[in-house]
Structure 1
Amino acid sequence: MSGYAGTIPDWLENPDVILLRDVATAVMQLDEVVQLDSFTLPYPPEAQRALDGLVLACLRGGARPPAGVPEMIHWCRTRPLRRWPLDALPPGLFNKNNRLIDPDSGKPTQLCGELEVKGAGNSTGRQYVDLVIREAMSACRAANLPQSYTAFRRLLVARPVLTEAEWPDISTDLYLDPVQFLIDEIYAPVPAGHGRDGAAVACARCLTLLTPLVGNGWWCERDRCRHLGPPPLGRRLPADEVGELRQLRRPLRQFVTGPGHAEVELEGKLRGLGLAVEMWPGFDAYDLRVTFPDGHIWAIDVKDWTHPGFLGQAATVVRPEPPYDEACWVVPHFRVRERGDYLETFARERPAHAAGLRLLSDEQAVEIARKRLRGERGPGARLAPETLMGKGADRA
């Protein structure tokens, strides 16, 4: 083994990694209650605790520590994590651009959110998402309406922003009737002045609201959009025309809307090959159930994490019901382009109980589907190792 996984048996227990998780948790919690560049005393205890730990680490290493919480936040925004004076930080853990706060927008990065989840065991945001999804499942199961759960998941992906005129359409949608009590809660009013010149603007790619940058330009909160370049401007939503504007609460945008776009895009590509695709089958047992003309079935879970090590640590086998012949996890291809060792790092970090779980890019999964449709049956036309294929799998 090479890199940090070889030198640190459990790098999540590395003291500098724990420290960065504490800092990330403080950043996320500060951002929930105040603007990161304008908070005042007294600081939340999480922020003070993170600062104390960072100061101690700097003093031990002979480096100048941040003078207070504002300077710590400045470090998060201006210093890539590789440049923090943390001597015990495992080499290769972060790439040269990884920061906790986006330098342009001043918002926490997706990596910061991933660090927070690990640092806090389960962040407030993640707990909120789990509660919402669990309640939606329960309500749709009680009504015996799996199609209502699918409609709810599509709503979170396709309509993260709603105008006052659009709200009645959602509140009277019969498919969404079992989950109306949730919809009323998960869409929050957009703060006044969110946009520019009296109008908010949505991203044409991911449909979430853009953040105006100082001077000019716009910033999209999704990593994938920023990877593709400046966000294309979508709907312009003047306050005096659209009335009250509502958007999904941030944890849902981060953990459901963002990855959901990758799920729906993969669905479209596989349907384009002529395959039958069921989304979120068995009340979200996994993301896509793909059926080939010969009856062979794939189960795919789509993930969109910045850090492959954290994703590997979270790996678990795909649930066995509804039944399938092969299963894997899939990540958007831009993650692999951004970090060349993404797939290998994931494989290294998988726990023993998920040792056979394979991670593919979405482009790889589509190419394997093409090969299988052409009649290939060898290893190059499989999602999973032969030893992990289901009982009905074709092993020709």
Structure 2
Amino acid sequence: MSEATNTAAEGSAIFRSLATGIWALSLKEHVSSIKLPYPAAAQLALDRLVLHCAARQEQYPSSVPELVAWCAERSASEWPFPVGPNMALPAARLVDEATRMRTRTCAELAVDDGAPILDAQADSVMNDLGTEPIGVGKREFLIDHVVIDRSGHRRMLATEPLSAQRFKGLKYLYGPPPDAWVVEGRVHQCSTCGLLALPTNHKQARTAWCEAETCPRDTPLSTSYDASNVQVLRTPLRLLVALPGRTERIALRTLRAAGFLVRPVGAVLGNYLVSGRGEPDRRMRVYDRMQPGPLAERALVDRVSLVVVPEQLLTTQAGYRDGFDAALPPGADVRLVSATDIATAAHAG
């Protein structure tokens, strides 16, 4: 391994440690208002950064709150160490500069014992649901119900008995809204992605920022709830199941309209086999992830050859396609396509 490669690997490891620390902080409270005691992962990330910087006589943060500020002020290309392109795009941040909220990049990179936290937790739930029709129905319920309030639950009981039955079996996947998303006692949903959102102010219910991060700002919020009356889907399921769920439906409709047969395949929900029109069968999965390098690694784990993402990621995230392709091993039969172009890609084989 060359010195440059070794340095990039070390820098990427520190960056991932920072992501894990910020993720741990975000589980406790809003990262801009953290209090002692700090999670061990956050203190470890600080210590690791301090050691790196001190050995090179470079400036370093002196506390966990200052570390959070550094994560908001610095993109991946602005740290005192190189972050490998397979880890994060140059503009990626672990904390949003304006809202001081943990970013999706942070969540995607956070690990526990070397395994991505989001993937491990979401995979565990999907494995439990199984791939039989009842499991498919439960997954669809999770995609459609990020937030459930008491009135919505009563409505299910009265008019949607199947949904009520599914919620009864899935209630353990919901919990109180995270403190960071509660603004003056209320929780808001983005009208574009359906995930949690922050309002511009309490009098004007418009989106200032949302979990997807890529949705239009200053648009009317979908719904506002009394925080004491709602249950919210767990974060890994919001980000890895509910968020790509809408794009997945677009991709499936596009393929079926083009004459392809699409059916679930494998032991985990979300993988599909695309066949028909005289083309070779292809395994497909829909994702919505901010960082293309780790996405490429995940696609190899999922053993898919068609990786579908929202068109917006390809058009607004500079270097996304190149970052994805560069992270694949030579000769890998994996293609990155948008949901609207999936039929063309499947036809091309």
User: TM-score, with normalisation over the residues of structure 1?
Assistant: 0.74
- Specify every segment of 5 or more residues in structure 2 that has no aligned partner in the other structure, as ranges: none
Give the superposition deviation at 1:329. Answer: 1.9
1:46 aligns with 2:36: no
* Corresponding letter in the other structure for 1:136: L
- 1:300-335 CA-to-partner distances (Å, cap 9, x unmatched) read 111222222222233327669xxxxxx422222222
Give the superposition deviation at 1:30. Answer: 0.9
* Corresponding letter in the other structure for 1:348: A
Q: State the distance in 1 between where 2:116 and 2:301 align.
A: 23
Select 1:220's aligned residue among 205, 210, 221.
210
Specify whether residues 69 and 164 from structure 1 end up closer, same or farther in structure 2 by C-alpha distance, changes over 3 A only. Answer: same
Would the aligned equivalents of 2:146 and 2:238 in 1 still touch at CA under 8 Å? yes
Q: Which residue of 1 aligns with 2:59?
A: 64
* Corresponding letter in the other structure for 1:129: A
Q: Which residues in structure 2 correspond to 1:177-256 (within 5 Å)?
A: 177=165, 182-190=169-177, 194=181, 199-213=186-200, 217-225=207-215, 229-230=216-217, 232-239=219-226, 244-256=229-241
Q: Which residue of 1 aligns with 2:146?
A: 160
Select 2:16's aligned residue among 12, 15, 21.
21
Give the superposition deviation at 1:71. Answer: 0.7
Would the aligned equivalents of 1:211 and 1:219 in 2 still touch at CA under 8 Å? yes
Specify whether residues 125 and 264 from structure 1 end up closer, same or farther in structure 2 by C-alpha distance, changes over 3 A only. Answer: same
Give the superposition deviation at 1:80. Answer: 1.3
Q: Which residue of 2 aligns with 1:264?
A: 249
SS of the residue 2:306 aligns to: strand
Q: Which residue of 2 aligns with 1:147?
A: 133
- 1:180-203 CA-to-partner distances (Å, cap 9, x unmatched) read 564111121336895556653321
Would the aligned equivalents of 1:132 and 1:182 in 2 still touch at CA under 8 Å? no
Q: Which residues in structure 2 correspond to 1:306-317 (within 5 Å)?
A: 306-316=290-300
Select 2:32's aligned residue among 23, 37, 43.
37
Q: State the distance in 1 between where 2:83 and 2:301 align.
A: 30
Q: State the distance in 2 between where 1:98 and 1:288 align.
A: 30
Q: Which residue of 2 aligns with 1:85?
A: 80
Q: Which residue of 2 aligns with 1:106?
A: 100
Give the superposition deviation at 1:175. Answer: 7.4
Give the superposition deviation at 1:31. Answer: 0.8
Give the superposition deviation at 1:296. Answer: 6.6
Q: Which residue of 2 aligns with 1:375?
A: none
Give the superposition deviation at 1:294. Answer: 6.0
* Corresponding letter in the other structure for 2:194: L
Would the aligned equivalents of 2:251 and 2:339 in 1 still touch at CA under 8 Å? yes
- Worse-superposed segment, 187-196 or 355-364: 187-196
- 1:86-112 CA-to-partner distances (Å, cap 9, x unmatched) read 2x5447964442110112222211111
Select 1:349's aligned residue among 327, 330, 340.
327
Would the aligned equivalents of 2:15 and 2:83 in 1 still touch at CA under 8 Å? no
Give the superposition deviation at 1:128. Answer: 2.7
Q: State the distance in 2 between where 1:168 and 1:253 align.
A: 23
Give the superposition deviation at 1:114. Answer: 2.0
Specify whether residues 124 and 194 from structure 1 end up closer, same or farther in structure 2 by C-alpha distance, changes over 3 A only. Answer: closer
Select 1:329's aligned residue among 301, 307, 311.
307
Would the aligned equivalents of 2:189 and 2:222 in 1 still touch at CA under 8 Å? yes
SS of the residue 1:166 aligns to: helix
What is the aligned residue count?
Answer: 344
Give the superposition deviation at 1:220. Answer: 0.8
1:359 aligns with 2:336: yes
Higher CA-based Rg? 1
Give the superposition deviation at 1:364. Answer: 3.3
Q: State the distance in 1 between where 2:181 and 2:320 align.
A: 35
Q: Whose RCO is larger (CA < 8 A, sep 6+)?
A: 2
* Corresponding letter in the other structure for 1:185: Y
Specify whether residues 169 and 91 from structure 1 end up closer, same or farther in structure 2 by C-alpha distance, changes over 3 A only. Answer: closer
Q: State the distance in 2 between where 1:43 and 1:198 align.
A: 25
Q: State the distance in 2 between where 1:10 and 1:262 align.
A: 37
Would the aligned equivalents of 2:260 and 2:277 in 1 still touch at CA under 8 Å? yes
* Corresponding letter in the other structure for 1:303: Y
Q: State the distance in 1 between where 2:334 and 2:7 align.
A: 20
User: TM-score, with normalisation over the residues of structure 2?
Assistant: 0.83
SS of the residue 1:300 aligns to: strand
Q: State the distance in 2 between where 1:366 and 1:9 align.
A: 41
Q: State the distance in 1 between where 2:180 and 2:85 align.
A: 42
SS of the residue 1:312 aligns to: helix
Judging by fraction of residues, say which structure has more strand. 2
Q: State the distance in 1 between where 2:268 and 2:218 align.
A: 30
Specify whether residues 166 and 364 from structure 1 end up closer, same or farther in structure 2 by C-alpha distance, changes over 3 A only. Answer: same
Greater than 6 Å deviation, 4+ residue runs: none
Q: State the distance in 2 between where 1:129 and 1:90 align.
A: 26
Would the aligned equivalents of 2:255 and 2:342 in 1 still touch at CA under 8 Å? no
Give the superposition deviation at 1:27. Answer: 0.4
Specify whether residues 214 and 80 from structure 1 end up closer, same or farther in structure 2 by C-alpha distance, changes over 3 A only. Answer: farther
